[in-house]
Amino acid sequence: MSATSPSAASSAAVLSEFEPTRGPVGLPPYETRVPEAMNNYNLPSNPVLITEKVQRLGEQFPTFANKSADDLEDLLRFEDLFQAHIDGLEQVQLMRTLEYELREENERLAEVNLSSEDELRRMRDNVAELQMFASSMTSRLYELVQEHLDLQKPYSPMLLLQRLRDEVKALDEQAEAVARGFMAKDEVIESSECEDFVRMYKQLRLRFHSSESRCRLADAAYRSGSLSGVPLSLDR
């Protein structure tokens, strides 16, 4: 049986925790305390593997690679020493710096939000008032639109055309009534009466023919769908 040299024992203590384990490993729940000392390290017998592990340890864990076996045992044995070493790691310091900056930024944002609370509440009240005003204006708009539609009904093209037809018919009947009344007189008709009759009858027939012409044009335009531009006014 060959004796183990002190250097080999020291290397075994340093590298044994990186030896892959066999079979599934049950991980304990997360604790903030320092883990118990582990003395069941299995150092590989192949010197090449030992060299590779030492190189990997120096690349990935430089703070542990430079420590002796006694130092590593002290880190596992003393909680304060282990915590001080962990706190001195660059990654831990960077993480805590980022955590501090994040907390400071959150506090700043919280202060900004709290300082804007009164303004936001006032803006919300203004928005509620504007919404109520907009709702009342919308209701008034609907009322005005309905009033406008009601006012437009008597002046729709169809109703105006019907009124024009009624006017043409009334002028024709009025002219015929004047003519029948003049012809039904038994007494002697003076010349002045004849002149008055002719003037009145002529005016009535002129109005009749003018209205009849507009009625025909309007009726043709209404049937063709191009009623715009046709004079339908009943004023003379």
CB 14 within 8 A of CB 69: yes
Q: Check residue 15 and give its pLDDT.
A: 42
Per-residue pLDDT reduced to its tens digit, 145-158: 999 888 877 777 77
With bands split at pLDDT 50, 70 and 90, how would you rate the model's confidence at 161?
A: confident
- Residue 8, CA distances (Å) to 11, 15, 69, 105, 107 in order: 5, 10, 11, 52, 54
- Residue 54, CA distances (Å) to 14, 44, 74, 126, 220 in order: 9, 12, 20, 71, 107
Task: State phi, psi for 43 to the nearest 5 degrees.
Answer: -80, 135
Boundaries of every domain in the chain: 10-16+34-112, 116-154, 156-224
Least confident range of 23-27, 68-72, 97-101, 105-109: 23-27
> Residues 22-42: what's their mean pLDDT?
45
Is residue 69 pLDDT above 70, yes or no? yes
Percent of the chain with pLDDT over 90: 17
CB 131 within 8 A of CB 189: no
Start-end of H helices in the chain: 6-15, 47-60, 62-65, 69-77, 79-87, 90-115, 117-152, 157-183, 191-224
Query: Any idea which fold 156-224 has?
Result: Helix Hairpins (1.10.287)
Q: What is the pTM of this model?
A: 0.35
